Amino acid sequence: MRIITGAVEQENGYQINFLKEPETTLAEALAGELHLFTTFERGNSEFHPTLIINTISEPAILLGRYQNEASTLKEEAWKYPVLRRLSGGQAVFMDKGSVFITFILPEYSKYLKAQTIRSVPKILNDIMLSAFRTEGLSLSLAAADVLTKRGYEVGGVGFEITEKTAVCECWLGMNSSLKLPEGTNAYPALSDEAFTRKPIAITEILDDSTFPQWDQTMAEIISLKMRWERYKVVESTWKWLDRERIAGLKSRVTIDKPTSENSELTFSRLIEDYIGFVQAAVSTTEGRMFQEVKIFGDFLADSAGIALLEEKLRWSPVKKRPIALIIDDILGNQGHVILGLKRLGTILEAIMDASGKEETETEGD
């Protein structure tokens, strides 16, 4: 793929690369995205924003970045490939013909009118919704990550943001809904207070004549919504070296079936919040200090914020107030973003639940 094109930028203004993959597996799509993401993270000033549209060739289950596969999926799910995306959110089923879209920006502050990291997801969502409208697919956003048409869930959207790179991911159920197949979802039923999902295939709403064409017009509309005076859309393809790199990254996006081995961590129960569930796993010292804390769930967040939270909780006392202060200090400030939860207290509740279980198990030993 032609990524480094500095001369074009100097002569013609900014550039956006457009890549269309009409028949690819979800593993290849996610590995291709990861290839670009790791490339952009190296920070070369000549990298350009890139839009990739993948039409999926075989069924697969797609998990959110922070989901615990052992709590999310039943045994039956593992007859499909199970893969993990860069963004958070719910698990979905990507059947043949589903569409997975990546819009990735190196040095995103150069292209987006974002004041803080917290404003980036909304800007990216607005850009992608505008691009969909050009394809005749007018969608609404609900519950932070659900794309709806006529009140039905037809897709989803998520993000990953680092200091250098911003990624917007979109997934659409074209011929089949995004609902996990019968017998694969391990979650309990949500209460009436949670977000109600009504998944449906786009084919049940639109006829074939109005189906999106997924052409470079999308990239043109995206560029107009960004901080650009001039732009050039360049149609790209994966080169041989890209394909080799992508093949080597498939294992990074593929999830292995959980084993029955005993974990050194103690897991909380699933704590419900608006977008789904939150879960924590902990290990502590005899003096009741955290040795390790892992946060799982269906929320959306920048990975650096969750990683920092888990790091700061290590060696802190297993006491409610210090934990609450750490959570608020990290996820409540402008340097990080978390969406889909009505309250950060859900994370605190999950951590305390796991801690209480571990103490009980230790006393039992």
Q: What is the pLDDT of residue 227?
A: 80
Parallel/antiparallel/unpaired status of strands 276-284 and 290-297: antiparallel
Domain boundary residue, one of 194, 219, 253? 253
The two tokens of residue 271 are 């704590």
Q: What is the pLDDT of residue 230?
A: 74
Range of the domain at 279: 266-364
Are both 104 and 196 inside the same structural domain?
A: yes
Q: What is the pLDDT of residue 7?
A: 35
Q: What is the pLDDT of residue 261?
A: 62
- The CATH number linked to 324 is 3.30.390.50
**C-alpha–C-alpha distance, residues 348 and 178, integer Å:** 30
Decide if 178 is inside a domain. yes
Q: Are 313 and 290 in contact (CB under 8 A)?
A: yes
Domain boundary residue, one of 253, 285, 315? 253
Would you say how long the chain is, in residues? 365
Domain boundary residue, one of 218, 253, 288? 253
**C-alpha–C-alpha distance, residues 287 and 158, integer Å:** 40
Q: Which of 361, 330, 342 is nearest to 267 (CA)?
A: 361
Count of structural domains, the chain: 2
Name 65's Cβ contacts closer than 8 Å, sequence gap at least 6.
84, 85, 86, 87, 88, 89, 158, 160, 303
Q: Could you read off the pLDDT of 256-267 as tens digits, one per residue?
A: 999 866 678 999
What DSSP line would sit under 265-292, residue for residue? Answer: SEEPPPEEETTEEEEEEEEE-TTSBEEE
Q: What is the pLDDT of residue 262?
A: 62
Q: What is the pLDDT of residue 359?
A: 60
Q: What is the pLDDT of residue 362?
A: 52
Q: What is the pLDDT of residue 108?
A: 93
Q: Are 162 and 110 in contact (CB under 8 A)?
A: no
**C-alpha–C-alpha distance, residues 333 and 317, integer Å:** 22
Decide if 259 is inside a domain. no
The two tokens of residue 147 are 């794309």
**35-74 residues labelled b (16+ CB within 10 A) or e (exposed):** bbbebbeeeeeebbbbbbbbbbbebbbbbbbbbbbebbbe
Are both 308 and 177 inside the same structural domain?
A: no
Q: Are 174 and 93 in contact (CB under 8 A)?
A: no
Are both 108 and 36 inside the same structural domain?
A: yes
Which positions of the chain have pLDDT values less than 50? 1-12, 364-365
